[in-house]
Structure 1
Amino acid sequence: MGVVSRSVGNAFRNKVRSGAVVVILAVAIGLALAMLVANQAVGAKVDSLKASVGNNLTVNPAGSRGGLGGGNPLTTADATKAATVAHLVSVNGTLSVRLSNAAATSGSTGTGTGSSSGDRGGPGGGFGSSGTTSLKSAVDPGVLGQRNNSNGSSSDATGGTTGSTTTRPAFTIPIQATGVSTSTTATGTAINVTGGAQLTDFAASSTQALVGSTLATKNSLKVGSTFTIQDRTMKVTGIFDAGDAFDNNGIYLPLAATQTLTSQAGQLSSLNVVVDTIENVSATQASLTTALGADKVDVTAGSTNLESAITSLGSVQSISLIAFIASLVTAGLIVLLIMIMVVRERRREIGVLKAIGASNRTIGVQFVLEAMVLVVLGTVVGGVVAAFSSNPIVSALVAGNTASTSSAAGPVRGAGGGFGGGGGGGGFTRTRGAFAGADQLIGTISTSIGWQTLVLGVVGILVIAAIGALIPALLTAKVRPIEVLRGE
């Protein structure tokens, strides 16, 4: 106990020097802990990216993503052929269609040329629609929606109109319907059902449907409520939340039922393919293109931007690991230099201790404990420094190592090439995550200092500090007392 109390007292023998040492150690230790936290946070982000979009491929009809034209529908035969490609975990087909409100469509009695539900600019949201539903859209088209879907008439300077005199009812946004063969979306992620249950009946005669939250609110629907699509009564099995009002203005239906209701038997808008590992994504993408025909399909992946994101994060991990080790070594060198100075100042004290029978181990432990007192104080202050600096450090490292790429996120046209899938059935198939730029994929990385991280960092720091204190103490302790005292 005397060694411990003497070590603690000696640590504060020179308060100014001890305070300066604690501050310097706090900076080094704080940086070490911040880098360790950054390394772990970035590693977790890499794992998250690989698990979310890293091994997904999307197969669309060739040219269908280019706007208003191109592409023939995919078929179930294409899905079967795709499933034979090596390294695939699953192949899921989807059919995206647009459904116009039945009441608005049947109520179109405008003068001039009539319109069908599949006509561009058709009343009641018949813009490329593949069928009708009793549901009303929860999203207002706004000025742009009405302008883009008007009949083309305009006013002249005298207040008259030029061009067509056809008048049509106000445009209403059609409802997006996506037929799925599993409980996942077109991006391969599970549908977030917030009420009720997932789809379980995927037969052509199924009457199950998942309804978006905003669409359900607009139409006063709840789990168990019914509505119609074409002439079939559908039952709400669950309410889902896709993140925003536009995505929630839609429904999910069983794939076979969607094909039957819209008279598109065997047709698909896209295929979502899951590859076994991210390392096989590029090779599998090429194999799918070859198997299905480069002139027939576009096989896209988030791997280009994802690889850029992972490479950038890998650089951050390497930098943070090197900085962590360098900070530990720096802390050790600080302790070593300080203890060399302290030991040299107290050579006479060491000689006296040796003369009265103190062992080398006792002398070494005394100086190690003295150094540990300073290191522990530096660690406490350094932990506070790390807590406040880890997030800014991670953000700076990521920003400096991530090449910003313009996001290609947005709607991916389905089969048929038209806006919304009239005839071919291709509607908007959202694959935002897979096509986001590298910086958007990374997003914000939040750090937190858990007890495991703190223990790991402190243990490493204490070991380095112990070595730094023990070396000069043992070297001096090995000197014979008479030599030390003679030198004094």
Structure 2
Amino acid sequence: MSVLARSVGNAFRNKIRTAAVVAVLAVAIGLALSMLVANQAVGARIEELNASVGTTLTVNPAGGQGFEGGGEPLTAGEAAAAAAVPNVTSVVGTKALRLRTETTTTTDSTGAAGGATQPGAGGPGGQGASVTTSLTAAVDAGTLGNRNNSGTMNGTATNGTAQAPAFSLPITATGTAAEVDSTGKALDITSGTGLGDYAAASTKALVGTTLAEKNSLKVGSSFTIAGKTFTVAGTFDAGTTFGNNAIYLTLAEAQALAGTPGELSSMVVTVNSMENVDSTKAALQTALGTDKADVTQGQRNLETAVSSLNSVKGISLVAYIAALATAGLIILLIMVMLVRERRREIGVLKAIGARNRTIGVQFVLEALVLVALGSVVGAAIASFASGGIASALISSNSSTAATAQGGPGGFGGGFGGQGGPFGGATQLLSSVTASASPGVIAAGIAAVFAVAVVGSLVPALLTARIRPIEVLRGE
């Protein structure tokens, strides 16, 4: 009988024990593969963020940030000046609007009913111009939103004359010159199509999935903004409920709705490489002027997101190594036990002329048979569990990012924060997806086999110390 056939037969000699060993190995191997998949997914996401978000510069009016602060609005001429800066590959202008449900009313200082805006909505044509819409916001203001935006103190109006109305969160509409978000990343359109020419006025719109569900919208549905009818060209997923409470329009259309043709709320400038980001940032600030624009690197939450992802990557790597070591230890203990059980068999084989190397290879092959069975089951476990494990690891490390991006006020601390249409660090983290690709699984199984060989070598070498005369004398 060949060594391989003998090894396979020995692996199934005790079926109950074999099943138990395979089950334990499958758990260890499945965990190792899941951690490897999570590590690879997080690493790929970090590279993606550094390559996309890390090479973008955000330009806001000096003294202003999205819906917050003052500053003079940016212009098309400044966008052209930015595009002329060396190493700049693209400039995408945006125009931000706040949409208020048409039935929403407020009260003024005398308690009389006001218009269709609420405190802090921003005047027409301003940095955060506010217009009405037939849509209903997909996110309720909640306790924090009402507390920070209703103008009350402990449930009483600040002027002491009347109870302020409940605050209703606005819907964010963003006019953009290209199919990208504020980080320069392409929009994740889940149904329908884009808007075509993003520089031309159009009555097409992209609607966030949460907002579409709230208002029963689908591709081809219509709604109104400032009395003008718009058609849903597609829906997008920003990664968060808040981020999906938003609409994208073409830049020209948003400017027309705000009554500010040629004005921009912000610009997203893409640099040709990460090595040129710092020098381009300085050149861009000089070209636009410190009194006209503030230039910041990428998304404000990139550093927080990357830091959290690096933590997850480190944890998954340590867990992967620990799981591999556990699988190796299991193999070591099992094979030591088998060598001790088969001392008589080993002695007989040596007595009839079997060489130490042949006997040692037999035990190594037997261990590999057990590992192969465990790897099949472990790979199946990893294919189902890797995504959930990666999400759990990221969720446990995203609290810091969420704390860093949340600001004062019920609207999430401004245009770029949690409440903004583009989200923040949490959105960057939540967009990580882990899938057990064949290449990653194959690499993980190869590492498991390598560890199994090392774990079985020690017991295999022990067979060389067994002397036939001593074994047979003891019988």
> TM-score, structure 2 length as denominator?
0.67
Aligned partners of 2:455 and 2:156: how far apart in 1?
A: 87
Asked if structure 1 preserves the Cα contact closer than 8 Å seen for 2:7 and 2:366, the reply is yes
In structure 2, relative to structure 1, the CA distance for the partners of 1:414 and 1:270 (3 Å cut) is farther
In structure 2, relative to structure 1, the CA distance for the partners of 1:259 and 1:238 (3 Å cut) is same
Number of aligned residue pairs: give it: 448
Percent of pairs with identical residues: 34
Deviation at 1:51, TM superposition (A): 2.8
Matched AA of 2:263: Q
Deviation at 1:41, TM superposition (A): 1.4
Matches within 5 A, 1:7-26: 7=7, 10=10, 19=17
Q: Does 1:46 align with 2:43?
A: yes
Of the three residues 135, 138, 151, the one matched with 2:136 is 138
Q: Does 1:77 align with 2:77?
A: yes
**Partner of residue 95, structure 2:** 95
Asked if structure 2 preserves the Cα contact closer than 8 Å seen for 1:35 and 1:321, the reply is yes
3-state SS in 2 of match to 1:259? helix
Matches within 5 A, 1:359-370: 363-370=359-366
Deviation at 1:181, TM superposition (A): 0.8
Q: Does 1:128 align with 2:128?
A: no
In structure 2, relative to structure 1, the CA distance for the partners of 1:478 and 1:353 (3 Å cut) is farther
Matched AA of 1:299: T
In structure 2, relative to structure 1, the CA distance for the partners of 1:202 and 1:441 (3 Å cut) is closer
Deviation at 1:34, TM superposition (A): 1.4
**Partner of residue 421, structure 2:** 430
Please tell me the root mean square deviation across aligned C-alpha atoms, in Å: 5.7
Q: Does 1:209 align with 2:201?
A: no
Q: Deviations over 1:429-488 (max 9, x none)?
A: 53313xx26xx7445978676665555444444455456656765886799989997999
In structure 2, relative to structure 1, the CA distance for the partners of 1:23 and 1:104 (3 Å cut) is closer
Q: Does 1:240 align with 2:239?
A: no
Asked if structure 2 preserves the Cα contact closer than 8 Å seen for 1:199 and 1:208, the reply is no
Asked if structure 2 preserves the Cα contact closer than 8 Å seen for 1:30 and 1:386, the reply is no
Aligned partners of 1:246 and 1:177: how far apart in 2?
A: 13
In structure 2, relative to structure 1, the CA distance for the partners of 1:256 and 1:336 (3 Å cut) is same
Matches within 5 A, 1:441-456: 441-443=428-430, 455-456=442-443
**Partner of residue 422, structure 1:** none
Aligned partners of 2:24 and 2:346: how far apart in 1?
A: 30
Q: Deviations over 1:18-38 (max 9, x none)?
A: 93x985786566434412321
Of the three residues 174, 180, 198, the one matched with 2:194 is 198
Asked if structure 2 preserves the Cα contact closer than 8 Å seen for 1:138 and 1:215, the reply is no
Aligned partners of 1:191 and 1:174: how far apart in 2?
A: 21
3-state SS in 1 of match to 2:65? coil
**Partner of residue 420, structure 1:** none
Matches within 5 A, 1:60-75: 60-65=60-65, 69-75=69-75
Asked if structure 2 preserves the Cα contact closer than 8 Å seen for 1:7 and 1:370, the reply is yes
In structure 2, relative to structure 1, the CA distance for the partners of 1:259 and 1:459 (3 Å cut) is closer
Deviation at 1:326, TM superposition (A): 3.2
In structure 2, relative to structure 1, the CA distance for the partners of 1:226 and 1:273 (3 Å cut) is same
Deviation at 1:305, TM superposition (A): 0.6
3-state SS in 1 of match to 2:134? coil
> TM-score, structure 1 length as denominator?
0.65
For structure 1, the 5+ residue unaligned runs are 115-120, 416-427
* Structure with greater Cα Rg: 1
Aligned partners of 2:181 and 2:303: how far apart in 1?
A: 22
In structure 2, relative to structure 1, the CA distance for the partners of 1:36 and 1:95 (3 Å cut) is same
Q: Deviations over 1:223-282 (max 9, x none)?
A: 38585758xx66526243556887666543322343345442332111123445567666
Asked if structure 1 preserves the Cα contact closer than 8 Å seen for 2:99 and 2:132, the reply is no
Aligned partners of 2:46 and 2:231: how far apart in 1?
A: 33
Aligned partners of 1:210 and 1:150: how far apart in 2?
A: 33
Of the three residues 154, 157, 179, the one matched with 2:175 is 179
3-state SS in 2 of match to 1:178? strand
**Partner of residue 322, structure 1:** 321
Asked if structure 2 preserves the Cα contact closer than 8 Å seen for 1:98 and 1:129, the reply is no
In structure 2, relative to structure 1, the CA distance for the partners of 1:478 and 1:112 (3 Å cut) is closer
Asked if structure 2 preserves the Cα contact closer than 8 Å seen for 1:125 and 1:174, the reply is no
Asked if structure 1 preserves the Cα contact closer than 8 Å seen for 2:203 and 2:253, the reply is no
Asked if structure 1 preserves the Cα contact closer than 8 Å seen for 2:92 and 2:269, the reply is yes
Matches within 5 A, 1:85-484: 85=85, 88-98=88-98, 122-125=114-117, 127-130=121-124, 135-139=133-137, 176-191=172-187, 197-202=193-198, 206-210=201-205, 212=207, 214=211, 223=220, 229=226, 235-236=230-231, 238-241=233-236, 251-276=247-272, 288-289=284-285, 291-295=287-291, 296-299=293-296, 301=299, 302-324=301-323, 326-327=325-326, 329-331=328-330, 333-334=332-333, 337-338=336-337, 341=340, 344-354=343-353, 363-376=359-372, 404-405=400-401, 406-409=403-406, 413=414, 430-433=421-424, 436=425, 441-443=428-430, 455-466=442-453, 469=456
In structure 2, relative to structure 1, the CA distance for the partners of 1:39 and 1:359 (3 Å cut) is closer
Deviation at 1:93, TM superposition (A): 0.9
Aligned partners of 1:71 and 1:385: how far apart in 2?
A: 55
Aligned partners of 1:155 and 1:315: how far apart in 2?
A: 50
In structure 2, relative to structure 1, the CA distance for the partners of 1:26 and 1:71 (3 Å cut) is same
Matched AA of 1:265: P
Aligned partners of 1:446 and 1:112: how far apart in 2?
A: 53
In structure 2, relative to structure 1, the CA distance for the partners of 1:477 and 1:78 (3 Å cut) is same
**Partner of residue 419, structure 1:** none
